[in-house]
Amino acid sequence: MATKDATERGDEAPRQQEIDPQVLSEIGNLAMRARTVADSALAGMHRSRHHGTSVEFAEHKEYSPGDNVRHLDWRAFARFDRDYIKRFEDEANLRALMVVDSSGSMGYPAGKDVTRLTKLQYATTCAGAMAYVLARQGDAVGLATFRDKLDIKVPSKARRGHLQEILTNLDALVPEGPSSLATALDRLSEGLTRRSIVVVFSDLLDGGLAALPGMARLRARKHDVVLFHTLDPDELDFPFEDSTEFLSMEDDRRVQIDARAIKDAYDKELKRFLAQAEAGARSARVEYVLARTDQAPGQLVAHFLARRMNARAQAR
């Protein structure tokens, strides 16, 4: 089941050089993967009117009538012969929090012979790329992860060196244990006081649909929520044949099944699951994006950035 793409939604993403996830899987360093994806997503995008492409302006904005002249940065004026206002953290364009599922099921596919990204690697690559771009624009960005409970790894801030802290924590994630997105979002809803964009990466397995009311509560508190439903093509296409042993990645369960005999039932259940996830997200006013891990990550990142640019432009 596919969701509407960015063009159909009216949030047309810029074209970018697509990088195959299999190629990315050969890049062991997360920071390099994230930057590669970010650069591909940014290709074709116009420079920000306020910030240009220089990281030096991550905490500045161009002066406009009505701004407090006490905040003029005279060093920037001397260097660039233009008036810039120092922009403090509370005045950042956006506050964003990446929320990544690191439970055991996100470790699929496992094995030394696998030549593609696991769901967790795909999620951390996308989250890292989004954090890279947002930090470059001077936005406040943070990181939270969850299994059976929420863990705020890096609070949302806009300062130099913050991005590396996020990437380091993303790279250290290991998929293990059960998940409870509902519990994580309940805690997040209580503790997230400033209006933010909450970007969730999860496969929604093991009761993940129960988290949709928690997303609705975040929306009720004026937060913008985007759900990237992260699934492997094996889970979507069920390519298995003959007798196959299926192992749970979150506990010790295992079962031997005739894959062909259950394929029709599996496909039916999968369609129901995806329909419930998308309909529940829509009801909660949450943007739902089905993220196949064989899809170029730059497409997801570009769509996210295009939507945010539109929202920022409308707010000005």
Environment class of 225 (CB within 10 Å of its CB; exposed 0-12, middle 13-18, buried 19+): buried
Environment class of 40 (CB within 10 Å of its CB; exposed 0-12, middle 13-18, buried 19+): buried
The pLDDT score that the predictor gives to residue 264 is 93
Residue type, 100: V
The pLDDT score that the predictor gives to residue 103 is 95
The pLDDT score that the predictor gives to residue 75 is 60
In order of start, what are the domains of the chain with their CATH numbers?
13-315 (3.40.50.410)
Strand 95-101 with 84-86, pairing: unpaired
Quote the CA–CA distance of 125 and 31 in Å, as a whole number. Answer: 8
Quote the CA–CA distance of 214 and 157 in Å, as a whole number. Answer: 24
DSSP 148: S
Residues 6+ away with beta carbon under 8 Å from 177: 103, 104, 147, 148, 250
Place of tokens 């805690």: 187
> Quick check: 14 and 302 in contact, CB under 8 A?
yes
pTM of the model: 0.77
Strand partners, 87: none
Token duo for residue 119: 């769901």
pLDDT in tens, the chain (316 residues): 444 444 344 444 444 456 767 677 767 789 999 998 988 888 745 433 334 333 333 344 554 565 555 555 656 555 555 555 555 444 446 899 999 999 999 999 987 556 789 999 999 999 999 999 988 888 899 999 999 999 999 999 988 789 999 999 999 999 999 999 999 999 999 889 899 999 999 999 988 899 999 999 999 999 999 999 999 999 999 998 877 777 666 667 777 877 888 899 999 999 999 999 999 999 999 999 999 999 999 888 988 888 776 666 555 5
Task: Single out the residue of 58, 125, 122 nearest to residue 86, CA to CA.
Answer: 58
